[in-house]
Amino acid sequence: MTNSITKKRIVVSTPGDTGSYIIVPLDQIEEVKKLFDEHGVKYWCDPDAISSNGRPFVMIVNLKFYEDPVHAQNLLDNMNDG
């Protein structure tokens, strides 16, 4: 899946002990939630969208600790094929 703001691939961040997450433009959040729901990926979204320096709003989507970030990334990557 391509980020509608940066035009780059949306990447699952895996910082270590804090769990995996993605940063999603607000205009794509429903598409990501639908994708994850359809494939049984457990996640939660931060309650507030954020913006800095007048940029478009984004939301952080956190994967549940036990979710496989590679699987989530593959799902996102395959969105570009469809």
For 19-70, what is each residue's pLDDT tens digit?
899 999 999 999 999 999 999 999 999 999 999 999 999 999 999 988 999 9
Helix (H) or strand (E) holding 22: strand 21-25
Using CA atoms, how far apart are residues 59 and 8, in angstroms rounded to an integer? 16
Q: In angstroms, what CA-CA distances link 44 with 37, 67, 73, 75, 82?
A: 11, 12, 16, 17, 25
pTM of the model: 0.90
Confidence (pLDDT) at 80: 66
Q: Report yes or no: 19 and 25 within 8 Å, Cβ to Cβ.
A: no
Q: Pull the structure tokens for residue 33.
A: 């939630």
Using CA atoms, how far apart are residues 16 and 19, in angstroms rounded to an integer? 6
